[in-house]
Amino acid sequence: MLETARRVLPGGSFGNLAGDVVLARGAGGHVWDEDGREYIDYLLGSGPMLLGHAHPEVTAAAQAQIPLGTTFFGNNRRGILLAEAIVDAVPCAEQVRFLSSGTEADLYAMRLARAFRGREKILKFEGGYHGMSDYALMSLAPKRPGNSARPIPDSPGIPASVVEEVIVAPFNDLAAATALIERHAEELGGVIVEPFQRLIPPIPGFLQGLRDVTARLGIPLIFDEVVTGFRFAYGGAQEYYGVTPDLCTLGKICGGGFPLAAIAGRAEIMALFDRATAGEDRFLPQIGTLSGNPVAAAAGLATLAVLRRPGSYDALFATGRQLMASLSEEIQRAGFAAQILGEPPLFDVVFAAEPVVDYRGTLNADAALMKRFNTLLRQRGILKGDSKYYVSCAHDADDIAATREIWASALKALKAG
């Protein structure tokens, strides 16, 4: 498989992880590669598998839908019911429009905000990830940050004109963000932010401050909740942090492991997707072959039904807190200058002595040390991405104990050089 991958795939991979492992199956909080090697899985498909792999209720829901049809390009019962569940769950959601990926959702959310306000520019935050569109790939990971208000393209192939349409603010700096929003208020179509940026929690008052200034100026505020939606709470980060935006984007968990994403928000703004309501001049067309796919919607409904059960989030957060505490203790025992960054369902170690509150703080971390640590973990049976431990409801006490043993062994090897 590795030889075939190197021949038929650029770089021998799908572009997500390095192509040195080929996964064959998953169950609960574990995956196995083609050689039969087992890993404790903290990658979780980059987050969708919050219930773990092959959850029996999610699998049964998808299997029940497949004989009835796998896609229709039209309304279907499962998609309508999933939209209803999202409206019931998410504070900002009055209406929902489905898509197939988080990139699509973020792209359309920015377009929707610009169309609603009749302005062309978007303000985002340095280091914030909003998919792979031209607008999103501005100052996601600038290697040589300059003036933070002027974006730096993260990829070749992006038209130079896009630089003029994006304003970049520092995350967790409310004074700077407010000043930029006020200065460019007449140009801004919207402000988009990850309420929890990659691994960095918002400092107290930051999100509410964004809400206050955008509301005062009539600028739509978009929360990118593709990662945090249904992960931090049933109502997402906006419930968890207590701040309600005008629009949000969702993905990963609400599709139950199948390709599904959504924009949700105020009916007044979402009405632009409706030609009859918006009128010809303001109507925003959005078409996707697989939008509202019934198999994905069935899997999403089953996932949300499990998450609604009493104690689901208590158990998830308890597991995450135990893992974070264990990793912190092992790091201290090994004597590394490092910190644990994140929230219980989503965290990682950062090899930096100073507190990290924004993207530029992450540049002070020892990236080479992190890479070596991740390699040692993979060799010992932990699968994760370059950053982030995604915690699932399927990880149990045995996984916590085994993970701690692997951390201790890997840190010992890392210390030895």
SS (H, E, C) the chain: CHHHHHHHCHHHCCCCCCCCCCEEEEEECEEEECCCCEEEECCHHHCCCCCCECCHHHHHHHHHHHHHCCCCCCCCHHHHHHHHHHHHHCCCCCEEEEECCHHHHHHHHHHHHHHHHCCCEEEEECCCCCCCCCCCCECCCCCCCCCCCCCCECCCCCCHHHHHHEEEECCCCHHHHHHHHHHCCCCEEEEEECCCECCECCCCCHHHHHHHHHHHHCCCEEEEECCCCCCCCCCHHHHHHCCCCCEEEECHHHHCCCCCEEEEECHHHHHHHCHHHHCCCCCCCCCCCCCCCHHHHHHHHHHHHHHCCCCHHHHHHHHHHHHHHHHHHHHHHHCCCCEEEEECCEEEEECCCCCCCCHHHHCCCCHHHHHHHHHHHHHHCEECCCCCEECCCCCCHHHHHHHHHHHHHHHHHHHHC
For residue 184, the tally of other CB atoms under 10 A from its CB is 16
- CA 83/CA 80 separation, integer angstroms: 5
Do the beta carbons of residue 99 and residue 169 sit within 8 Å? no
Residues 182 and 115 in one domain: yes
Residues 226 and 111 in one domain: yes
- Dig out the tokens for 365 from the structure: 């971390």
Residue 9 maps to a domain: no
pLDDT tens sequence across 326-367: 999 999 999 999 999 999 999 999 999 999 999 999 999 999
Give the pLDDT score at 147. Answer: 64
237-241 contacts: CB < 8 A, separation 24 or more?
237/195, 237/196, 238/90, 238/91, 238/92, 238/195, 239/90, 239/91, 240/343, 241/195, 241/202, 241/207
Q: Which residue has the tokens 């900002």?
A: 92
Residues 300 and 328 in one domain: no
Domain interval for residue 416 = 311-341+406-417
**Range in 16-20, 286-290, 382-386 the model is least confident about:** 16-20
Residues 215 and 328 in one domain: no
Positions annotated as catalytic residues are 129, 224, 252
Give the pLDDT score at 146. Answer: 65
Backbone dihedral angles phi then psi of residue 371, each to the nearest 5 degrees: -65, -45
What number is the average pLDDT over the span 80-89? 98
- CA 287/CA 44 separation, integer angstroms: 29
pLDDT tens sequence across 207-238: 999 999 999 999 999 999 999 999 999 999 99
Cα distances (angstroms) measured from residue 44 to each of 54, 100, 266, 267: 11, 18, 31, 33
- Dig out the tokens for 148 from the structure: 């933070």
Nearest C-alpha neighbor of 180 from the set 192, 167, 166 = 167
Residues 181 and 274 in one domain: yes
Provide the mean pLDDT of the chain. Answer: 96
Chain CA centroid to CA 338, Å: 24
- Dig out the tokens for 341 from the structure: 């960054």
- CA 186/CA 108 separation, integer angstroms: 21
Residues 242 and 325 in one domain: no
The pTM of this model reads: 0.96
**Helices 206-217 and 174-183, packing angle to 10 deg:** 10
Residue 50 maps to a domain: no
Residue 113 maps to a domain: yes
Last residue of a domain, one of 256, 288, 307: 307
Give the pLDDT score at 366. Answer: 96
Give the pLDDT score at 142. Answer: 84
pLDDT tens sequence across 11-27: 999 989 888 899 999 99
Last residue of a domain, one of 260, 288, 307: 307
Residues 316 and 294 in one domain: no
Which CATH number belongs to the domain containing residue 181 in this structure? Answer: 3.40.640.10
Residues 199 and 320 in one domain: no
Q: Point out which residues pair with 193 in neighbouring strands.
A: 223
| R_g of the chain computed on alpha carbons | 21
Percent of the chain with pLDDT over 70: 99
Residue 274 maps to a domain: yes
- Dig out the tokens for 160 from the structure: 């130079």
Residue 188 maps to a domain: yes
- Dig out the tokens for 99 from the structure: 């898509």
Residues 179 and 223 in one domain: yes
What number is the average pLDDT over the span 369-391? 97
Cα distances (angstroms) measured from residue 217 to each of 108, 115, 188, 202, 212: 22, 16, 10, 22, 9
Give the pLDDT score at 17. Answer: 84
Do the beta carbons of residue 45 and residue 57 sit within 8 Å? no
Cα distance between the two ends of the chain? 32
Residue 118 has pLDDT above 90, yes or no: yes
Chain CA centroid to CA 277, Å: 32
Percent of the chain with pLDDT over 90: 95
pLDDT tens sequence across 144-197: 766 667 788 999 999 999 999 999 999 999 999 999 999 999 999 999 999 999
The count of domains in the chain is 2
- Dig out the tokens for 360 from the structure: 């530029």
